[in-house]
Amino acid sequence: MTQERHRRSALGRTEALKARERQRETRNQGYEEMRYLPPQEEKKPRRHTFAWLLLALFSLAGIAVAAVLILPQVTGQAIGGLPRMAFVGQQLVTCDEAAVSALASSQAEVAAADGVFGSGIRIDNVDVSGMTYGDALAAVEAVPAAGGGEFSVTVQIAGRTWTIDSTMVPMTRNVEEVVADAWAVSSAEPDPLPGETMMETRLRALREREQNPVWFQTELTFDQEAIRSITDSIAAELEMPPVNAAIAGFDPATHNFTLSREQSGTSLNAAELYEAVLTELDHGNMNAVVQMEPDTLFAAVTVDDLAGTLGRISGYSTKTTNNKNRNTNIRLSAEAINGYCVQPGEEFSFNHATGQRTEGKGYKPATAISGGQNIEEVGGGVCQTSSTLFNAVARGNFEIVKRSPHAWPSSYVEKGLDATVNWPGLDFQWRNNTEYPVYIVAWYADRVVTVELYGVRLGEGITIDLESKVIKTLEKPTGIKEVYNPELPYGTRQTTVKARKGYVVETYQVWYHDGIEFKRELLCTSTYKAYQETVEYNQ
């Protein structure tokens, strides 16, 4: 089988060699024929040359026609009556003049819309289409706001009328803000559609704005603080606090009070008035009428209320001696303070109320304490009046401002219940720490001096008493202190200061309700110093 394949292969190669040999012989024969053409055969190529000339002429004509057709496309200059053509790849295409014209128009339209407002944009009735940003801003500012700016609001309250108008309230107009918003809308472009060029997208945006105009309107903003100031001032004019019934006077002789009647007040909610006016303006009601009624404020204290609380607050009496001059001084000082009115918060000064006790006022020389010894002094004895007043004041629960005990305990009051005075420095002072006036009623009769205080009582069934307690006794010094006095007659001696014990005393306010104690408070502490017997001499 293998031998058969070798045999067939050898036969194939032989046949191939024979075929190639035949091809060479055929070519050589052709060459020989061409080389030895007869003379009459050599004229045939002339007919072929003429054909080639005709073909060249036709080619040149075609090239000329193509050049004429393509020249406008290359130079940009059209030839009348001929279309513009161009090769695109290996294909000759003709220019669509209508499409080119439409494209050029679209390009011009897009270019013209660049940097200016597009069609269909109006601000406050101003058509800003085709305007630059600056021109549009100036044009809108030149016209009034679409809603106007003048207003006049009338406020009517409790029969009174006020006017709030645009001449009183500064206003601002948001022109720049609105023009900027309009510019943003005019410049906005929609998202491109599939296959749409940028120019086509811009053209579509211009067409949409033309078909759907957009109106903008500026707003006037009122200065709200200015309006608030005006409404606050109106409310302040209507603000009238109520007046409580009050004590207008007092008759010390009859102990009768004169009262002034209470008066209602008015109050207007300034915030509500402000909101009412602002609401009208915000709603465009430029000639609105705002009506309100103030609130009535009733007095906390009426005449009936006050009358039921008035009367004697407290009082105290002390018994005097049979010394005529001393009693005269006590009577004059009691008359000086009788009927005195101490207003709320006011301080009362005994020395101020009585003035200096002088003979010109009728005061007499009488025994007084000075420097630890008894002396004769014009006005001596008035300390009993000030001490009696102190007891009345303390029992009325008024504030004690200044009070001093005597050099030693007095005979007309218990220890710790006295209040000494001496012109001009040593004084008794107290303050009316209540909301109502207090009247002093003081008199002397039958060797008794009495001081009473009238006004608003402490409370139903409430009374105050004073109790003193000696917490320490100071023993009197032993021996006698001798003092040389050249003013005494020669060879004489006299005792000027008696030996006395001293005391430290606490005084308490004791509160009672219907006679039952419910509170006890320390009022003051008094110190009466101990004295050594003193003898003056001249020898």
Return the structure tokens found at 244: 């409580």
Rounded Cα–Cα distance for residues 419 and 392 (Å): 12
Three-state DSSP class for residue 170? coil
Rounded Cα–Cα distance for residues 473 and 501 (Å): 7
Start-to-end C-alpha separation, the chain: 194
> How high is the pLDDT of residue 6?
47
* Helix 133-141 with 175-187: angle, nearest 10 deg: 140
- Find residue 521's DSSP bridge partners: 509
Contact (Cβ atoms closer than 8 angstroms) between residue 284 and residue 238: no
Does 144 sit behind a cis peptide bond, omega within 30 degrees of 0 on the bond before it? no
> How high is the pLDDT of residue 461?
95
CB atoms within 10 A of CB 145: 16
> How high is the pLDDT of residue 191?
72
Rounded Cα–Cα distance for residues 195 and 213 (Å): 27
C-alpha neighbours within 13 Å on the C-beta side of residue 8: 5
For the chain, give percent helix, strand, coil, nearest 5.
Answer: 35, 30, 35
> How high is the pLDDT of residue 67?
62
> How high is the pLDDT of residue 260?
96
> How high is the pLDDT of residue 2?
46
Q: Which residues of the chain carry a pLDDT beneath 70? A: 1-48, 62, 64-113, 146-149, 370-373
- Which residue, 318, 306, 478, is CA-closest to 386? 318
Q: Which residues of 96-134 are buried (b: 16+ CB within 10 A; e: fewer)?
A: eeeeeeeeeeeeeebeebeebbbebbbbbebebbebebe
Dump pLDDT digits (tens) for 446-494: 999 999 999 999 999 999 999 999 999 999 888 898 888 898 988 898 8
Contact (Cβ atoms closer than 8 angstroms) between residue 216 and residue 129: no
Provide the whole-model pTM. Answer: 0.60
| Long-range contacts formed by 40-46: CB under 8 A, 24+ apart | none
Rounded Cα–Cα distance for residues 303 and 151 (Å): 48
